[in-house]
């Protein structure tokens, strides 16, 4: 197992998800229910499913596009979204 990749992926996803709309939705669902463990289990399963879809999609895309171009494209997309948000043209 690649421990460096594991820890960097964990850290990046954890930081990216903090304050995300998914976390806020989960928080509001847990606040309105007594069965908080059910909310936890359901949201954890949903995140695992979403991540599995992303990993499988990434594997398929990587078969046709070299990883370096995927990274460059993702970086360019993040920069474009950031500029759009700074200029007030992007909507969330």
What is the DSSP code string of 12-27?
HHHHHHTT-HHHHHHH
Tens digit of pLDDT for each residue in 36-82?
999 999 999 999 999 999 999 989 999 999 989 988 998 999 899 88
Tens digit of pLDDT for each residue in 8-41?
988 988 888 887 888 888 888 899 888 899 999 9
Residue 92 falls inside a structural domain: no
Residue 27 falls inside a structural domain: yes
Owning domain of residue 42: 3-87
Residue 56 falls inside a structural domain: yes
Has residue 89 got a pLDDT over 70? no
74: nearest Cα among 50, 54, 56: 54
**CA pair distance 87, 92, nearest whole angstrom:** 13
Count of domains forming the chain: 1
Instruction: Map residue 89 onto helix, strand or coil.
Output: coil
Two tokens, residue 2: 């690649």
Helix (H) or strand (E) run with residue 36 in it: helix 36-64
């Amino acid at each position: 197992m690649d421990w460096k990749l594991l820890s960097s992926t964990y850290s990046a996803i954890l930081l990216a998800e903090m304050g995300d709309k998914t976390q806020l939705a989960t928080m509001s669902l847990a606040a309105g229910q007594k069965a908080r463990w059910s909310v936890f289990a359901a949201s954890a399963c949903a995140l695992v499913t979403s991540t599995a879809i992303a990993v499988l999609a990434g594997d398929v895309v990587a078969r046709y596009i070299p990883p370096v171009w995927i990274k460059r494209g993702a970086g360019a997309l993040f920069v474009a979204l950031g500029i759009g948000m700074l200029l007030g043209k992007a909507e969330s």
